[in-house]
Amino acid sequence: MRIGVLGPIAWRVPPRHYGGWESVAHLLAEGLARRGHDTTLFATADSITSAKLSSVASRPLEEDRSLPSRVYETLHTAAAFEQAHNLDVLHNNAGVFATALSRLVETPVLTTLHGSAAEADSRLVYSRYREQPYVSITDAERALAPELNYVATVYNGIEVPAEPPDGDHDDYLLVVGRLSPDKGVHHAVELAQLTGRRLVIAGIVPDANREYYETRIVPHVDGRRIEYIGPCDAEQRDELMRRAYAYLHLITYAEAFGLTIVEAMAVGAPVIVFPLGSARELVRDGETGFIVGSVQEAAEALERIPSLDRRRCWSWTKEQFSADSMVEGYIRVYERLAAR
C-alpha cells in the first residue's frame, strides 16, 4: 500500500527528548517500511526514518522559536495534502489541521486523536468533521468526543526489550514527562514527602507551566531527597525507569493514553497511577502496579511493591503494547479504508 504518515513538527521524529506523538509516528513509519509498504513520513527535515521523508520545516518548532508555528503547521499539512492523490491512505497524527482538509481529497484521511479531543478548540473541528474515520488510542479516549466515527482502537506501541528485566532496582520513585499541573508532579512531591522516599523528576518545563514549576516544584527540590534532572533521551529514560522502585503517574485529568506508563512497565518498573482516563486499560491492578485514589493510598501501595513480579510488567507490555501490534492494527484499518 501507499501510505502517508503525517507526523507533528513540534519535535523531531523520533524525538530527542519529549514527544509522544512523534515517537508513535516514528515507530509506525518504520514498521510500515519494514513490511514493504510504500511509506512517506511528513515530518521535520532533521527527522530520521527508513521511509521517504517529506519536509517543509527545517527544524522542530519547539526547538527554533524563530519559525512562525501557525505558518509552518499550515504549510506542513498542505504539503501532505498536495501528495494525497499518490497515496492509498493519509494517516493524520498531527491534530486538527489535517482533519479540516479531509473532505477536499478523495484519498481517505484517517485521524488518530492522541488525546487532542480533550482540547475544546479541537473538539469544535472534530465535531464538524465527525463522519471522517477516527482511531482512538484507548477505549477510554472515546468519552472525550463520543459523537465521532471511530473505526478502531489501536493502542500506542513502543519498542519492548527482547528480554525480561533482571529484577534489580534502586529505592527511588520516578516521574518522567512534562512538568505541568495536569501531569500531577506536585502529587509525586507530596508522596515523597509523606513517605520519606527519594524522588527523581525528569522532563521538560513548558513555558506555559513555568510558574507552576517555580512555585509548586522548585521549593521542594533539594538535590538529595527530591531531585530534578531535566530532560532525558530514550536511553537515559529507560535506565532511570529500569532502576526505579516504582514509577508514578498521579495525573489530574482523564488522559487518553499515558505512554510513560507503558515505557516504565516495559523495563520492569511497577507503576502507581490515579484511576483517570486510560489507567484501567494500561495497568493490571495488583499485577503490574496499583491504581489508587489518593496520595495516601499511593503511600500504602508503595509498601506492596515488593509483592509484584517485575517480569510480569514486562510481559504484559509485550503482549499488549508492542510496536508490532500497533503497526498491524493500523494496517488492518488502512486496508478497510482503501477497500471502500
User: What would the pLDDT profile of 69-105 be if each residue is shown by its tens digit?
Assistant: 999 999 999 999 999 999 999 999 999 999 999 999 9
Q: Looking at domain 2-157+322-339, which CATH architecture does it have? A: 3-Layer(aba) Sandwich (3.40)
**Mean pLDDT along residues 326-340:** 96
Round the average pLDDT of the chain to a whole number and report it. Answer: 96
Cα–Cα distance list, 236 to 164, 260, 318 (Å):
18, 13, 21
Rounded CA-CA distance 241/169 in Å is: 9
173-320: what CATH class? alpha beta
- Residue 340, pLDDT > 90, answer no
Please give the residue that has the higher pLDDT: either 283 or 340.
283
Q: Do domains 2-157+322-339 and 173-320 have the same CATH topology?
A: yes
pTM flag (> 0.85): yes
pLDDT of residue 17: 84
Rounded CA-CA distance 4/7 in Å is: 9
Burial 109-118 (b: 16+ CB within 10 A, else e): bbbbbbbbbb
Q: Where are the domains of the chain?
A: 2-157+322-339, 173-320
Residue position matching grid coordinates 495488583: 286
Check: CB of residue 173 under 8 Å from CB of residue 301: no
- Residue 24, pLDDT > 90, answer yes
User: What would the pLDDT profile of 135-148 be if each residue is shown by its tens digit?
Assistant: 999 999 999 999 99
- Residue 331, pLDDT > 90, answer yes
Rounded CA-CA distance 4/2 in Å is: 7
What cell does 277 get? 482516563
Cα–Cα distance list, 253 to 180, 218, 279 (Å):
11, 22, 11
Residue position matching grid coordinates 501532505: 80
What percentage of the chain carries pLDDT values higher than 70?
100
Rounded CA-CA distance 183/174 in Å is: 13
- Residue 253, pLDDT > 90, answer yes
- Residue 167, pLDDT > 90, answer no
